[in-house]
Amino acid sequence: MTLKDWTLPLIVLAAAAVLAPLPVVAGSYWMALLVNILMYATLATAWALFSGPTHYVSLATAAFFGLGAYTMAFLGEKLPLPLVYGVAALIGAVVATIVGLSTLRLSGVYFVIFTFGLAELVRQLVTWGEAKYGGTVGRFVFIDVTQQGIYWMLLGLLVLILLTGFAIQRSRLGWALRAIGEDETVARHAGIDTTVSKVAVFVVSATFMTVVGAIMAPRWTYIDPSIAFNPIISFQVLIMALLGGASRLYGPILGVVPLAILFEILQANFPNSFSILLGLAFLVIVYFVPNGIVGLIDQGRGAFIRATRRRPHPAE
């Protein structure tokens, strides 16, 4: 690998080093906002690992996030914490493998609808299972993880997701995913095992989402299926990733920061019309920034390069 290949990972690590001490200075309001931003940054970046290159739009984020949160709610007081995160990751990976194998033969809009249905199905199953075997629907989560702890874990996870993304992009697997996004028939005829490639990265992406759920659960003290599997989570992640632009690994983060703040303000001030405002934000973004902030940056850079190239060199 050349020096250039290391630039982005080094920027990621440097940025994380700058962000790591924030909890020392931030008050509790700001900590809550930062944790919220990090939660969506990890989810949206994990989402884009798979959906970015393949253009398969998944609405299953809430399903995996909720599975992670529920794993923590059930096991958090029974097992050591690191083990709970491991179990959550394993559950996410297994469910994603099953879902991936059964759905990734679908294409386009069928995949979107199926993933959305999946999130609802998992929510219903958990509700039923909790009532039958847990005696209640909804439970308190008394686990001793501080706001700072959550922040640091999410920050570490974000770094891990980004580094994983870099590694995938540089590998044959990353090329396979891009080819699938361009034209799946061509990809198959080029010799790419499209099913294996898609399932592999869907599983990686979903596993990260599940761990985010497990990390976040202690923040709520009480969770029930409608909180943990809230479909709004899937839509928010989608909107944020679209605003930022999923064609670059760092793209979704650019969409998360402004929207997490905006949604926070909207939710605080217009709790009843939040879904409508969310839909409105969606329309505005798709209409005005179809390629995301990343697309605007690329456009701007292209225009700059063309402008500087055209200008005759003074020495000539």
Partner 1 sequence: MQPLIELHGVSKSFGGLRAVDRLTATIRRGEVVGLVGPNGSGKTTALNLITGNLTADSGAIVFEGRSIERDGAHRITRAGIARTFQLVRVMPTMTLAENVAVGAMFGARPCGPAEAAERALPLLARVGLAARADERAASLTYIDQKRLELARALAAHPQLLLLDEWLAGLNPTELKEGIALIASLARDGLTIVMVEHVMDAIRALCTRCIVMNAGTKIAEGTPAQALADPGVIKAYLGDDDDA
Provide, rounded to whole angstroms, the least separation between the CB of residue 237 and partner 1. 24
Residue 124 or 171 having the CB closest to partner 1? 171
The answer to whether 274 and 266 are in contact (CB under 8 A) is: yes
* 163 and 9 Cβ atoms separated by less than 8 Å: yes
Q: Shortest Cβ distance from residue 117 to partner 1 (Å)?
A: 27
> What is the per-residue binding string for partner 1 in 168-197, x denoting contact by CB under 8 A?
--xxx--xx-xx--xx-xxxxxxxxxx---
CB 199 within 8 A of CB 50: no
Q: With CB under 8 A, what is the number of residues at the site for partner 1?
A: 19
d(CA 36, CA 305): 37
Q: Is 138 helix (H, G, I), strand (E, B) or coil?
A: coil
Interface with partner 1 includes 280 (CB under 8 A)?
A: no
d(CA 285, CA 283): 5
Distance (Å, whole) CA 255 – CA 294: 9
Task: Give the separation between CA 304 and CA 232, rounded to whole angstroms.
Answer: 38
Of 73 and 192, nearer to partner 1 (C-beta) is: 192
Q: Does 55 bind partner 1 (CB under 8 A)?
A: no
Half-sphere exposure of 111 (CA within 13 A, CB side): 19
Site track 191-230 with partner 1 (rule: CB under 8 A), x = hit? xxxx------------------------------------
Residues 118-177 that bind partner 1 (CB under 8 A): 170-172, 175-176
Q: Which residues bind partner 1 (CB under 8 A)?
A: 170-172, 175-176, 178-179, 182-183, 185-194
